[in-house]
């Protein structure tokens, strides 16, 4: 028996890094996974690789900042699978710049993908998840929602919005009798392509220099927590935030 047998899971930003690891582990544990991303080639390849391992995976193009595309993806999942049990709002990008350097355009782009994208995902997934008898929404935030990182200013604003939004949606679902749990995840530095980008933009020699005290996590360190939240093992875990940072935030 897999830990998420029979569940249908939608993962955004699943072509790379954490989203790809989430899709792999959920599929390995029995879920039907729908990978989505703006990067079509890498997304198709990720789904193909999961199928090669015996998993049940498909890819659909989705820009999370586009409401119409969200409606189409949810309609597709309704007609293909008839249900949705797990939504992982993972898609993201990082635009660096302190509050004085950050342009309004950059701030809006960052928030369109990571704040509005999470809002749209939750809004459009809720009806189908409710019809499916409930489910689990897992929103990817960051320790940037807890700590002060000037250089990640717009990113921090978006991740703070994800943290607060997740709690509001959790209570909304509870008040309305939906059996949908909503939690946010707050990783520290995890070794993904996003980290390579920030290492190079900061002019650092090694990505390890981004987290010299507690080291770097690996994608499966986050994916294992996603698996737990997606499964019924976490049925009483709701409206909370889970730090996955090897104690970085309490140093």
Here's the x/- map for ligand NAD, 34-73, by CB under 6 A: it reads as ---xxx----------------------xxxx--------
Record the tokens describing residue 238, joined without a space: 């709701």
Of the two residues 176 and 218, which places its CB atom closer to ligand NAD in the complex?
Answer: 218
Minimum CB–partner distance for residue 174 and ligand NAD (Å): 25
Q: Among residues 34 and 91, whose Cβ is nearest to ligand NAD?
A: 91
Nearest to 36 by CA among 51, 25, 46, 50: 46
The least distance separating ligand NAD from the CB of residue 84, rounded to whole angstroms, comes to 17
Sign of CA dihedral 68, 83, 26, 59: negative
Count of residues touching ligand NAD (by CB under 6 A): 28
The active-site residue, picked from 149, 152, 155, 178, is: 155
Of the pair 194, 214, the CB lying nearest ligand NAD is at: 194
Question: Segment contacting ligand NAD (CB under 6 A): 3-11, 124-132, 173-181, 192-200?
Answer: 192-200
Q: Which is nearer to ligand NAD, 141 or 238 (CB)?
A: 141
- Give buried/exposed letters for 95-131 (b at 16+ CB in 10 A, else e): bbbeeeebeeeebebbbbbbbbbbbbbbebbbebbbe
Cα–Cα dist 111/116, whole Å: 6
Instruction: Reply yes or no on whether 155 is catalytic.
Output: yes
Among 18, 137, 138, 242, binds ligand NAD (CB under 6 A): 18
Q: Is 215 in the site for ligand NAD (CB under 6 A)?
A: no
Residues near ligand NAD (CB under 6 A) are 12-13, 15-19, 37-39, 62-65, 90-93, 113, 140, 142, 187, 189-190, 192-195
| Catalytically annotated residues | 155
């Amino acid at each position: 028996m897999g830990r998420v047998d029979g569940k249908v899971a939608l993962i955004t930003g699943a072509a790379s890094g954490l989203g790809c690891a989430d899709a792999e582990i959920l599929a390995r544990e029995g879920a039907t996974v729908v990978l989505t991303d703006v990067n079509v080639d890498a997304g198709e390849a990720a789904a193909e690789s999961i199928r090669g391992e015996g998993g049940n995976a498909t890819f659909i193009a989705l820009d999370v900042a586009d409401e119409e595309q969200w409606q189409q993806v949810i309609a597709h999942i309704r007609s293909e699978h008839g249900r949705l049990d797990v939504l992982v709002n993972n898609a993201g990008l990082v635009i660096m710049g302190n509050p004085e350097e950050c342009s309004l355009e950059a701030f809006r782009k960052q928030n369109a993908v990571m704040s509005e994208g999470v809002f749209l995902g939750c809004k459009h997934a809720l009806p189908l998840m409710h019809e499916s008898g409930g489910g689990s929404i897992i929103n990817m935030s960051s320790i940037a929602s807890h700590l002060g990182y000037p250089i990640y200013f717009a990113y921090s604003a978006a991740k703070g919005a994800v943290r607060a939004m997740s709690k509001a949606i959790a209570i909304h679902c509870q008040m309305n009798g939906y059996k949908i749990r909503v939690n946010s995840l707050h990783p520290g530095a995890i070794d993904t392509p996003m980290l390579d980008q920030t290492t190079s933009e900061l002019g650092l020699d090694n990505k390890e220099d981004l987290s010299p005290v507690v080291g770097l996590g690996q994608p499966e360190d986050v994916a294992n927590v996603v698996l737990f939240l997606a499964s019924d093992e976490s049925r009483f875990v709701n409206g909370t935030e889970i730090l996955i940072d090897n104690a970085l935030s309490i140093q």
